[in-house]
Amino acid sequence: MTTSFADLGVPAPLVTVLDAAGITVPTPIQAATLPDSLAGKDLLGRGRTGSGKTYAFSLPVVARLTQSARRPAPKRPRALILAPTRELVSQIQATLEPLAKAAGLSTTTVFGGVGQGPQVSALRRGVDIVLACPGRLEDLIGQGHCDLLAVEITVLDEADHMADLGFLPAVRRLLDRTPKGGQRMLFSATLDNAIDVLVKRFLSQPVVHEADSAQSPVAKMDHHVLHVTRELRLPVLVDLASAPGRTVVFTRTKHGAKALARQLNKNGVPSVELHGNLSQGARTRNMEAFHEGRATTLVATDIAARGIHVDDVALVVHADPPAEHKAYLHRSGRTARAGAAGTVVTLMTDDQRSDVRALTRAAGIRPTTTRLADSSHPVLKELAPGERERPGGLVVVTDGGSNGGGRSGGRGRGNGSRGKSSGQKGRAQGGKGGQQRTQQSASGGAKSGGAKSGGGQGGRRRGGSSSAGSARRRTGSGGGHSAASFSAGMR
């Protein structure tokens, strides 16, 4: 007999919200943790990215705040959810907000990269739940805009990633400001020594639940390694990204993500980038373009990996193999989420063979390795089935500096029809603070001249490598980058 959310003790109004979203069967981590978290126990939940941890803590936070029936005082939130990145905070907010609204609770997000004014105003009015990155929250507390003495429930999500990014000292300082008698829940894909220190210091007799830890590969995720020359990487990436469906490509560096997104767009594949050099407005608008289908490929760095939650990502490609196995598993977790199937491809050059072998061994996977002589190898259509389409590139124009509140929009050139993959008209409203305009050439792939291993001939790249400039797609196949330059200097 299948256990329902109601069977686990989730209040009926919240079950109604879940039903409306088509969520009727709890995932293993939800089924394991909800009885204890709803009962108010401190809890350590271990589960891989995509296992359903967000609902596992959002449901008890809303349910228990509703039970206590207190009103939030100005500057004193009643619940605190900490996450390592802006993208992850925003994704948690998207999941939590409908639940909170059904219960009559208020929420706000707190993170850097945007003006603090709206955040300060929300805190001043009084808010039930704050979702925050540690750095900005500490800043607001230091300025006297927030006090954590009334926090009843504290959640740490992706605690291991916070440790990787060096956020644990700030996390410890924030937890020290919350009442000792409050409920604390910590969710992590792994339990390293640094996380164990947090558990011992801040959790009182925690209940430990583990379901689908990051050390156990997803059964429905197929892993492949494509052994290629450096010059062949771009043509292979263009072919894979031209297949139907959404693709997420990972690079090691911010410059690599920007350069590769530009190369894909030049070859007619509508792509956006996600990395730390973009303003928050640009990051939001790029994610909206990917969510809505105007862009079919997202090129991202490791720091953004944990905040990417998009349904139906069929393919994840490691254009640059990550430095360690945890990053590999978290990157790969962008596909095969919540029981769906997915494919993960790693591009490997001769000088990366030993590193990739060690990486996959540590991750506990046995990938299928194929050596490619060219980009027409039949394995590419096995990994990414379907007719290849290159409707024309999406090029992001960013003004106002790498970390400012600048304006970002997609602007392309072409004289054909609107892009088939977008399902949108050529002009679409972006996020607040700017407008994203997209125009895709129906013959974009042909005009780009294909994915030439040398990056093509003719035409100069304009705008340089700075995200503050204006990058525009040219109709020629030109560009200053060679095919391998999107990860120049990275091995």
| pLDDT tens per residue, range 196-235 | 888 889 999 999 988 754 444 444 678 999 999 999 999 9
pLDDT recorded at residue 63: 97
The rounded Cα 70 to chain-centroid distance in angstroms is: 34
User: How far apart are the C-alpha atoms of 208 and 221, rounded to whole Å?
Assistant: 26
User: How far apart are the C-alpha atoms of 125 and 338, rounded to whole Å?
Assistant: 37
- Residue among 348, 381, 354 at smallest CA distance from 230: 348
Mean pLDDT lowest among 285-294, 382-391, 451-460: 451-460
For strand 183-188 and strand 129-132, is the pairing parallel, antiparallel, or unpaired?
unpaired
Q: Tell me: pLDDT of 11 over 60.
A: yes
The rounded Cα 261 to chain-centroid distance in angstroms is: 16
Q: Tell me: pLDDT of 40 over 60.
A: yes
**Confidence class for position 158, pLDDT limits 50, 70, 90:** confident
Is residue 234 within 8 Å of residue 483, measured between CB atoms?
yes
Q: Tell me: pLDDT of 485 over 80.
A: no
Q: Tell me: pLDDT of 253 over 50.
A: yes
Domain 12-210 matches domain 221-487 at the CATH topology level: yes
Each domain of the chain, given as residue ranges in start order, spans 12-210, 221-487
Amino acid letter for position 132? A
User: How far apart are the C-alpha atoms of 264 and 259, rounded to whole Å?
Assistant: 9
Q: Is 202 left (phi over 0), alpha (psi -120 to 50) or beta?
A: alpha
Q: What is the pLDDT of residues 344-363, one digit of tens each?
A: 999 999 999 999 999 888 88
| Domain 221-487, CATH among 3.40.50.300, 1.20.910.10, 1.10.1020.10, 1.20.810.10 | 3.40.50.300
Q: Is 210 helix (H, G, I), strand (E, B) or coil?
A: strand
Neighbours of 19 (CB within 10 A): 12
Q: Tell me: pLDDT of 146 over 80.
A: yes
List Cβ<8 Å contacts ≥24 apart for 135-138. Answer: 135/167, 135/170, 136/110, 136/111, 136/112, 137/82, 137/110, 137/174, 138/170, 138/173, 138/174
| Domain 12-210, CATH among 3.40.50.300, 3.60.21.10, 3.90.1150.10, 3.40.50.2300 | 3.40.50.300
Is residue 390 within 8 Å of residue 269, measured between CB atoms?
yes
Is residue 380 within 8 Å of residue 228, measured between CB atoms?
no
